[in-house]
Structure 1
Amino acid sequence: MSAKKNFVLDTNVILHDYKCLFNFQDNDIFIPIVVLEELDKFKKGNDQINFNAREFVRELDEITDNHLFTEGALLGPDLGRLSIVVNSTYPEKVKSVFPEKKPDHLILAATLIVRENHPDRKTILVTKDINLRMKARAIGIETEDYINDKVKNIDIFESEHRVLDNVSPEIINAIYKSKDGIPATEISNDPFKSNECFVLESGTSSVLARYVSETGKVRKVIKEKNFGIEPRNAEQTFAFDLLNDPEVKLLALTGKAGTGKTLLALAGALRQNKLYKQILLARPIVALANKDLGYLPGDEKQKIAPYMQPLFDNLNVIKHQFSLESSDYRILQDMQEKGTLVIEALAYIRGRSLSETFCIIDEAQNLTPHEIKTIITRAGEGTKMVFTGDIQQIDSPYLDSQSNGLVYMIDKMQGQALFGHVNLIKGERSRLSELASNLL
């Protein structure tokens, strides 16, 4: 059994996961009093971090143990103790390097105090702030990122579809001829993932295929247009196949900029507009240059308009496929006018129940695992959810390619019959866009 440790938590860990207190096994947890002061600033608001701040304070309020400010309150069976650290001194080791008593430096001071009070134990500062981790190391404090929800294997976000070569021509012919597909065991003894898409090749022929776990069969994937948009490569063809399948209720489309993630999702939704009461496109608002929405001019709709523009751009790409007099163009116009096609900020869908809705969440890599869970649990009967994102383009300072909600969801949902994932590799926006994405 490993020796017990002391973990000092930064504010951003709590705002990331308000249940974090219960993820440190039997180790003891310390929260600097300045963290509670910072949480107080986040209690008001409708964003996820505001919700997390409120929920954590409620969790803390339920711990009525009088020892919270002394030897610590027991968190539960097989768990450690929780203590609030009230800094009575500002250690010289911190003061000499960081004379200004700002919150980050007070957290460093609290960590040193905990370490001095428990010389027999390892004391570790847990923070998602890279800069604070660097400051901590500068004065000899051991520090870690909060890794409870980090995904270890992210190779699937860098690789193309699987190719199974040396498949007999007879097998490929059988897949082409069969409407429902052939048993997966006739192709390979290695297991396939649920809704996995791949290419089967013989020396002279090939077929795009998908494994359907509910039937245990591999069937062909047909290349087809969705509302005027034609797939340009195998991955886009796979994406359309999963988008058009009503049995796949949850889908993730990942890939770098220009691979067509959002456009494909929107085209798939529009093709199925008669199957759903509403098509909803939403994206999280990540303020630019550390400015919040209040910095921007105009009313609420005018403030969020710049953040929603990329979604309107994708809609316009589809509109431009048709003439102004065409029936498809009129369908798009009518849907927008009647409110059956809605583009809005993600914050506006929180708390709603989404029934019979085709819901597209763009830029999902900027969401935390808890935010992703909150959104998916909004899904009512007849709802399909599609999450798109590029895990290499994360705008949140406290998320990375392993801890964001999109990779977390994919990691946890793999193997479920109602879930699918396609990683788009090739940029199709333009030759210039592809070159920039690869080289810059």
Structure 2
Amino acid sequence: MESSLALHPPLTPAEAEGPKTYVLDTNVLLHDPTAISAFNEHQVVIPMTVLEELDHIKDRRDKTVSREARIAIQLIDKIVDVATPQAIQQGVAVPGSTLQGPLGTLAIYPDQLITDDSAVPYLDGTPDQANDNRIINVAIKLQAEHPERFVCLVTKDINMRIKAKGSGLLHVEDYRRDRVLDDIDLLTKGYEHIPGDFWAGVDEVDTVREDDRTLHRLPRSALPAAYPNQFLFDDREFLAFVVRLDSEHVYLRCDSRDGLMNQRFWGLAPRNLDQAMAMRLLADDDVDMTVLTGPAGSGKTLLALAYGLQGILEEGRYSKLIVARSTPPIAEDIGFLPGTEEEKMAPWLAAFDDNLEILHGADESCAGSIAYVKERANIQFKSLNFMRGRSFNNAYIIIDEAQGLSQFQLKSVISRVGEGSKIVVLGNLAQIDNKYISPLTSGLTYLVEKSKHYEHAGVMHIGGILRSRLAAFAEEEL
């Protein structure tokens, strides 16, 4: 059985025999605290340095990483709890690492015992790089002691991977368990464009009446890649919405482009079809979570905010509007900013004030209108790091800049959503500022692909830069 990492270069016969050994860096366990069980029947080695780093991180003010560190420590403790010191160094079985066959093992390596050996090119203990070097040295030591085995360092630190390879380590990889795509261009967009005439390619269709709506029922073979809440349109007048699917059929609700383009949220009209489809998802009572992706300036934040104001102040659907985002580098900075939580969050949430100005820029007193709306709509600015452990009922929640979050972090936030609430997740995969996350491993990518088959979630990629022609040039050319 192969590990759940991405494929590495072709193995030699010696490498292919028996379990492989994976040395984990600290950032892997912070990215996914359950990573220990992700390597199937193979051996996972955790250097003592990694445990020391987790110990320091678990007490940080930054609740984002300290929580993950504690979960990883608790999982390790659960596995090695009753094992002897000798067994821990040799490897303890990891429950649940495989569904059948031999279990994987977890070993703790006392890297403080590694000493300089002229036969093995260890990295030195330079203070600035001491921990990284000690972790790399563990993999180099295991490779030297077991040349017949496949020994691999797994880290999300790009520079550490380069250093390890340059030091003679044959196998170094990124952690890829959370990858749901091989190419970011394959990311679900929330719609499908059918060239030509859609109906020309459909051989079988009938009409059913449900409540007050008429649906077209097509065989699954006509739309094999369809998923709930997806839009379909062709080069002519056809535009439809996938209401639901069963084992044999796809149910479509036909719509009109004019109907979509005539929508209004808090006085805001769509400027292209992508925005119009996003607005329809936001207003759908049956969609509890909407994920909007797209480049800067495409209108994601403005649309989400406009519907939130309308849903609270005009329709009375929700009692408050919660705007939240991660605040790197939050580990120390936010605690030392003056004021309340909302005031501390202000530097990171200025974009919402900008969008409120757009919505009320034509008012006689723009500042007065914004202050009035903030109070009436009960707009609350939150840091994601303070949302865990809470439950939000009857709330409209916007998660901004979600591209820099891991899947574990997003799951922790979404699981806080209570009854009568709607959550909107926004992100631009071209603007990731987390050094350990790429577009393929972003929690936003994971969320899009995992939620597209859920009947109460909607996904929409909004293309086109509507901010200005200069913004469009910067996004596309710079």
Is TM (by shorter chain) over 0.5? Answer: yes
1: distance between equivalents of 2:155 and 2:219? 50
Task: Kindly indicate whether residue 309 of structure 2 is the aligned counterpart of residue 270 of structure 1.
Answer: yes
Taking the TM superposition and a 5 Å limit, the aligned residue runs for 1:13-412 are 13-44=28-59, 45-62=61-78, 63-64=80-81, 65-66=83-84, 67-76=86-95, 78-87=102-111, 88-92=113-117, 93-95=120-122, 102-141=130-169, 142-153=171-182, 154-157=184-187, 161-164=191-194, 165-167=196-198, 180-185=213-218, 189-191=222-224, 192-202=226-236, 206-213=237-244, 216-220=251-255, 222-223=260-261, 224-273=263-312, 274-287=316-329, 292-293=332-333, 298-299=338-339, 301=341, 302-324=343-365, 333-337=371-375, 340-412=378-450
Amino acid in the other structure paired with 2:346: A
Task: Kindly indicate whether residue 449 of structure 2 is the aligned counterpart of residue 435 of structure 1.
Answer: no
Amino acid in the other structure paired with 2:192: R
Task: Kindly indicate whether residue 29 of structure 2 is the aligned counterpart of residue 11 of structure 1.
Answer: no
Task: Please give the per-residue CA displacement for 1:162-192, whole angstroms capped at 9, x wherever unaligned.
Answer: 22221459x9xx99xx973431429981242
| Mean Cα deviation higher: 349-358 or 86-95 | 86-95
Task: Please give the per-residue CA displacement for 1:99-120, whole angstroms capped at 9, x wherever unaligned.
Answer: 5561000001111122233332
Task: Please give the per-residue CA displacement for 1:286-309, whole angstroms capped at 9, x wherever unaligned.
Answer: 229xx8416965346554321121
Amino acid in the other structure paired with 1:5: K
2: distance between equivalents of 1:287 and 1:359? 23
- Given that residues 90 and 109 in structure 1 are in contact (C-alpha distance below 8 angstroms), is that contact kept between their aligned partners in structure 2? no
Task: Please give the per-residue CA displacement for 1:104-153, whole angstroms capped at 9, x wherever unaligned.
Answer: 00001111122233332110000011110011110121111110011224
Q: Which secondary structure state, in structure 2, belongs to the residue aligned with residue 217 of structure 1?
A: strand
Distance 1:297 1:159, change over 3 A: closer
Aligned pairs, number: 427
1: distance between equivalents of 2:219 and 2:177? 40
Q: Counterpart of 1:415?
A: 453
2: distance between equivalents of 1:263 and 1:282? 15
Q: Which secondary structure state, in structure 2, belongs to the residue aligned with residue 121 of structure 1?
A: coil
Deviation at 1:38, TM superposition (A): 0.8
Task: Please give the per-residue CA displacement for 1:281-329, whole angstroms capped at 9, x wherever unaligned.
Answer: 11111229xx841696534655432112112222222222444499xx8
- Given that residues 94 and 105 in structure 1 are in contact (C-alpha distance below 8 angstroms), is that contact kept between their aligned partners in structure 2? no
Task: Please give the per-residue CA displacement for 1:191-232, whole angstroms capped at 9, x wherever unaligned.
Answer: 422111132343xxx144322116822231522111011110
Distance 1:398 1:187, change over 3 A: closer
Task: Please give the per-residue CA displacement for 1:88-109, whole angstroms capped at 9, x wherever unaligned.
Answer: 1244544467755610000011
2: distance between equivalents of 1:168 and 1:151? 32
2: distance between equivalents of 1:76 and 1:374? 24
Q: Which secondary structure state, in structure 1, belongs to the residue aligned with residue 148 of structure 2?
A: coil
Q: Which secondary structure state, in structure 2, belongs to the residue aligned with residue 70 of structure 1?
A: helix
- Given that residues 33 and 86 in structure 1 are in contact (C-alpha distance below 8 angstroms), is that contact kept between their aligned partners in structure 2? yes
Q: Percent identity?
A: 30
2: distance between equivalents of 1:276 and 1:168? 40
**Which stretches in structure 2 are left out of the alignment for 5+ residues?**
2-15, 97-101
- Given that residues 123 and 167 in structure 2 are in contact (C-alpha distance below 8 angstroms), is that contact kept between their aligned partners in structure 1? no
Amino acid in the other structure paired with 2:65: I
Amino acid in the other structure paired with 1:185: L
Distance 1:396 1:90, change over 3 A: farther
1: distance between equivalents of 2:274 and 2:136? 48
Amino acid in the other structure paired with 1:406: L
Q: Which secondary structure state, in structure 1, belongs to the residue aligned with residue 90 of structure 2?
A: coil
Deviation at 1:4, TM superposition (A): 1.1
Q: Which secondary structure state, in structure 2, belongs to the residue aligned with residue 211 of structure 1?
A: strand
- Given that residues 124 and 130 in structure 2 are in contact (C-alpha distance below 8 angstroms), is that contact kept between their aligned partners in structure 1? no
| Mean Cα deviation higher: 306-315 or 350-359 | 306-315
Task: Please give the per-residue CA displacement for 1:344-402, whole angstroms capped at 9, x wherever unaligned.
Answer: 22222221101111111000111100011111111111111110101111111110001
- Given that residues 241 and 255 in structure 2 are in contact (C-alpha distance below 8 angstroms), is that contact kept between their aligned partners in structure 1? yes
| Mean Cα deviation higher: 188-197 or 10-19 | 188-197
- Given that residues 188 and 449 in structure 2 are in contact (C-alpha distance below 8 angstroms), is that contact kept between their aligned partners in structure 1? no
Deviation at 1:17, TM superposition (A): 0.8
Q: Which secondary structure state, in structure 1, belongs to the residue aligned with residue 433 of structure 2?
A: coil
Q: Counterpart of 2:12?
A: none
Q: Which secondary structure state, in structure 2, belongs to the residue aligned with residue 358 of structure 1?
A: strand
| Mean Cα deviation higher: 57-66 or 413-422 | 57-66
Amino acid in the other structure paired with 1:293: D
1: distance between equivalents of 2:344 and 2:73? 31
RMSD (Å) for aligned C-alpha atoms: 2.9
2: distance between equivalents of 1:167 and 1:276? 38
- Given that residues 184 and 211 in structure 1 are in contact (C-alpha distance below 8 angstroms), is that contact kept between their aligned partners in structure 2? no
2: distance between equivalents of 1:247 and 1:434? 34
Amino acid in the other structure paired with 1:216: Y
**Which stretches in structure 1 are left out of the alignment for 5+ residues?**
none
Distance 1:120 1:276, change over 3 A: same
Distance 1:299 1:324, change over 3 A: closer
Q: Which secondary structure state, in structure 1, belongs to the residue aligned with residue 140 of structure 2?
A: helix
- Given that residues 44 and 107 in structure 2 are in contact (C-alpha distance below 8 angstroms), is that contact kept between their aligned partners in structure 1? yes
